[in-house]
Chain A
Amino acid sequence: MEKRVVFRSAWLPYVLVAPQIAITVIFFFWPAAQAVYYSFLLQDAFGLKSQFVWFQNFVDLLRDTNYLSSFRTTAVFSFLVAASGIAISLLLATMANAVVRGALVYKTLLIWPYAVAPAIAGILWAFLFAPSIGIVTYYLKWIGLDWNWMMHSPQAMLLVVVASTWKQISYNFLFFLAGLQSIPKSLIEAAAIDGAGPFRRFWTIVFPLLSPTTFFLLVINIVYAFFDTFGVIDATTQGGPGNATEILVYKVYYDGVKAADLGGSSAQSVILMFIVISLTVVQFRFVERKVQY
C-alpha cells in the first residue's frame, strides 16, 4: 500500500525540499557543469586567459601514455581492493555468524574501522609499514625481506591496497552478516541432512543466496576504490613511486592542483563522471532484476 501525504499549501512542499535541492545543486550539479565547461578550455600557463578548444583536451588525454597507464593502475587497484575486501569480509562474516558466545563483541570490533577517516587509515598503515621506523617493516626485515615501499612500486601498491581494503572491510562485513542472518537456519539443516558438508553447503547454498549482496558490494567497492581512496593515497604514497599508485582520481587532483592543467584535469573528471554514472546505472538495473533467485 502506498502512503501519500497531501499538502494543502502549494509552496510548503517546495520549501521543505529546498535545502536538499540547494545542496545538490551547489555541491554536485554546479561543479559538474563547471568541469564539463573547463574540459573544453585550454588555459595559458599563468591562468590569465583561456581558449575554447572543443575536444582537444580529450584527444590529448587518450594519446597520453601516462593517462592510459593510470587507467591500468586504477583497474589493478580497484580489482585488488574489491576482490580482497569482499573475500576477507565474507570470511569474517561467516565466522562471526557461527560464533554464539560474545558475538556482539566480535561484531562491534569488526565494525570499528569504518569509523576511521581514510587519511588516518592511510597514515596508520604507512606508519606500520614505514621503511625506517615501521613495526611491520622491522619483522619483514627480520625474515629477510627488503621492504621499502618508497622504492618498490609493487610494495607501494600493496600498501595502499591493504590500507584501503582494511577500511572497507567493515562495511562489507555488515552487509554480509545481515545477508547471512537472513538465510533461514532450516535451509542449512536441510542441506546437512541431504548430505552436504560445511564447505559444500557454503558454496552450493549460502554463497548463491548471498549473490545479490555480493553483487551490490562489488559495485559499491569498485566505486569506493575509484573515488574514496583518494585520502589513503594522498596520505601515503601520493601516487608514487613514479606513477605506480597514481589512480585516476589522484591524477585529476595532481594535474589540476599541482600541475595547474585545469583543462586536462577537467576532461579527466568528465571521463570519471561517465564511469561512475555507468556504474550506478549497472547497479540499479542489476540489483533490482538480474541477481534474483
Chain B
Amino acid sequence: MAEIVLQGVTKSFGKTEVIHRTDVTIGDGEFVVMVGPSGCGKSTILRMIAGLETTTDGEIRIGGRRVNEVEPKDRNIAMVFQNYALYPHMSVYDNMAYGLKIRKFTKDDIDKRVQRAAGILELGPYLRRKPRELSGGQRQRVAMGRAIVREPAAFLFDEPLSNLDAKLRVQMRLEIQKLHRELATTSVYVTHDQVEAMTLANRMLVINAGTVEQIGAPLEVYDDPASLFVAGFIGSPSMNFMPGRRAGDGVDVGEGLVVPLPPALRATAGEQVTVGVRPEHFVPGTGGEGPRFRLRVDTVEALGADSLLHAGFNGTLLVVRIEGHATPLAGSSLEASILPGKAYFFDTVTGKRLAG
C-alpha cells in the first residue's frame, strides 16, 4: 500500500509534448480513475507510473520513493491490461504464479496465494485451464488474479473492461468495486467510459489533450465542472451548450431569449458566454426559472424509465430528458425552463467555467 505522487510530470515524444505538467497525489488506498477521450494521454500517464514509458521531466514517487529510474519490476506495482495479456501457453495457475516464481517465493507460499486469489475471484475450477479455454470475463479475472497474488503497493488498470460486452462490463465493474473494498489497495484506473469513471472512482482526473482539466470526486465533477470540456464529457447524454452574447445582466442565447447571469458572475463575464444545461435539468412547462424555451420536438427516444427528446432551438438540437412515459410526439412543440441554479456559464473563448 502506498501513496503515488506525480510532481511536474511531463512527457514528450521528440519535440511534441504529449503530457503537459501534471501534479497529482493519489492517496494510500484511494481508487483514482483517469478518464478522457482516446488519445488524450491517460494511458501514457499510467504507463509512466508503471515504468513502461520514460518520464521526460518531473518526478514520480511511489510510497515516498522516487521511481523515475526504477525498472517496472522493482516498482512494486501490478498492471491489468486491456487485452488481459495472459500468457497463452500457461495454465491459469501458472499465469498467476509466474511473477511469484520469479520473485523466488516458496512453493507453499505460491500455492497459498494463488488459491486465495482464485477463491476471491471464483476461479477455483479453472486453475488447470489454458486462457483460450476461458470466456472473456474469466480471462479478465485471471488478469486481476495475477495482479492480486503479488500483493503490490498499487494496481494499475489500463481500460480493463473495454473488450467485454455491455452486460459483463457492468458485472465486472461491480466486482472491481468489491475487490477494492476488500483489499483497499491504491488503484489507478484508466478508461474512456465516463460511466466506469463515475461508478468506480473515489476521485477522478478528467484529462483532455495531455492536460488534467479537473480533479475531484465524481459527483463534485458532475455538479461543478471546471470547463466546457469536462461539462461535455461527464454526463450522459452530455450537457447542452448554447453559445450566446452578453446582454446586460444576462446572456442572449438566440430566439430573443436571455438567460439571466447570477449576480456573482456579472462582474467577470466577458462578451461571449456559453450557457450549459444538462438534459435532466430542463423541466417542461414553468417548473423552472428564467426564460421559457420554445422547443420543436424533432426526435423522441423513449427508453422506458425516461425519454430523451431531441428538440430544435436556434438552429441546433437540444436534448431534454423527461421522466416517465408522458412524451410529446415528434413534430410537436414543447415549452421548457431550467431548474433553479442549474444553468452553467462558460467563457466561450477560454472554455473555462465563469467563477464569481
Candidates A190, A197, A211, A293; contact of B81 at CB < 8 Å: A190
A192 to B102, CA, bound (A): 11
A208 touches B99 (CB 8 A): no
Q: Does A196 contact B (CB under 8 A)?
A: yes
B50 touches A193 (CB 8 A): yes
B52 touches A192 (CB 8 A): yes
B146 touches A194 (CB 8 A): yes
A194 touches B83 (CB 8 A): no
Q: Does A47 contact B (CB under 8 A)?
A: no
Candidates B79, B102, B130; contact of A195 at CB < 8 Å: B102
B102 touches A189 (CB 8 A): no
B85 touches A190 (CB 8 A): yes
B73 touches A189 (CB 8 A): no
Q: Does A273 contact B (CB under 8 A)?
A: no
Q: Does A102 contact B (CB under 8 A)?
A: no
Question: Residue-by-residue, is A166-195 near B (CB-CB < 8 Å gives 1, otherwise 0)?
Answer: 000000000000000000101101111111
Interface residues of B, CB < 8 Å — how many? 24
Measured between C-beta atoms, what is the minimum distance from A213 to chain B in Å?
Answer: 13
Q: A192-B52, A193-B73 are in contact. Are A186 and B81 (CB under 8 A)?
A: yes
A196 to B72, CA, bound (A): 10
Query: Closest B-chain residue to A196, C-beta based?
Result: B102
A189 touches B85 (CB 8 A): yes
Candidates A194, A204, A211; contact of B73 at CB < 8 Å: A194
Instruction: Give the number of residue pairs across the A-B interface with Cβ within 8 Å.
Output: 59
What secondary structure prevails in chain A residues at the interface with B? helix
A192 touches B87 (CB 8 A): no
Q: Does A209 contact B (CB under 8 A)?
A: yes
A187 to B82, CA, bound (A): 11
What A residues does B132 contact at CB under 8 A?
Answer: 293
Q: Does A200 contact B (CB under 8 A)?
A: yes
Candidates B52, B71, B102, B130; contact of A293 at CB < 8 Å: B130
Measured between C-beta atoms, what is the minimum distance from B70 to chain A in Å?
Answer: 12
Interface residues of A, CB < 8 Å — how many? 19
Question: Residue-by-residue, is A199-241 near B (CB-CB < 8 Å gives 1, otherwise 0)?
Answer: 0100011001101000000000000000000000000000000
Q: Which of B106-140 contact A (CB under 8 A)?
A: 130, 132
Q: Does B153 contact A (CB under 8 A)?
A: no
Q: Does B103 contact A (CB under 8 A)?
A: yes
B99 touches A195 (CB 8 A): yes
Query: Closest A-chain residue to B77, C-beta based?
Result: A193
Q: Does B311 contact A (CB under 8 A)?
A: no
Q: A193-B73, A193-B79 are in contact. Are A187 and B87 (CB under 8 A)?
A: yes
A193 to B70, CA, bound (A): 12
B83 touches A209 (CB 8 A): no
A293 to B130, CA, bound (A): 8
Query: Closest B-chain residue to A205, C-beta based?
Result: B87
What B residues does A196 contact at CB under 8 A?
Answer: 73, 98, 102
Query: Closest B-chain residue to A188, C-beta based?
Result: B85
Q: Does B167 contact A (CB under 8 A)?
A: no
A193 touches B72 (CB 8 A): yes
What A residues does B50 contact at CB under 8 A?
Answer: 189, 193
B73 touches A293 (CB 8 A): no
Q: Which of B64-108 contact A (CB under 8 A)?
A: 71-73, 77-79, 81-83, 85, 87-89, 98-99, 102-103
What B residues does A197 contact at CB under 8 A?
Answer: 73
A186 touches B85 (CB 8 A): yes
A189 touches B89 (CB 8 A): no
A208 touches B102 (CB 8 A): no
A187 to B72, CA, bound (A): 14
What B residues does A208 contact at CB under 8 A?
Answer: 89
Candidates B88, B89, B102; contact of A200 at CB < 8 Å: B102
Candidates B78, B88, B98, B103; contact of A191 at CB < 8 Å: B98
A209 to B83, CA, bound (A): 17
What B residues does A190 contact at CB under 8 A?
Answer: 79, 81, 85, 87, 146
Query: Closest A-chain residue to B80, C-beta based?
Result: A190
A31 to B209, CA, bound (A): 69
Candidates B51, B82, B99; contact of A194 at CB < 8 Å: B99
What B residues does A192 contact at CB under 8 A?
Answer: 52, 71-73
A190 to B102, CA, bound (A): 13
A189 touches B88 (CB 8 A): no
A190 to B84, CA, bound (A): 9
Measured between C-beta atoms, what is the minimum distance from A199 to chain B in Å?
Answer: 12
Query: Closest B-chain residue to A187, C-beta based?
Result: B85
Question: Residue-by-residue, is B143-162 near A (CB-CB < 8 Å gives 1, otherwise 0)?
Answer: 00010001000000000000
Q: A191-B98, A193-B73, A194-B146 are in contact. Are A293 and B85 (CB under 8 A)?
A: no
What are the 4 closest A-B residue pairs judged by CB atoms, nearest first?
Answer: A293-B89, A194-B99, A190-B85, A186-B85
Given contacts A193-B99, A194-B150, 9 further A-B contacts (CB under 8 A): A186-B81, A189-B72, A189-B81, A193-B50, A193-B52, A193-B77, A197-B73, A205-B87, A209-B89
A-B contacts, 18 listed (Cβ < 8 Å): A184-B83, A184-B85, A187-B85, A189-B52, A189-B79, A189-B81, A190-B146, A192-B52, A193-B52, A193-B73, A193-B79, A193-B99, A194-B146, A194-B150, A195-B99, A200-B102, A205-B87, A209-B89
List residues of A whose CB falls within 8 A of some B CB: 184, 186-187, 189-197, 200, 204-205, 208-209, 211, 293
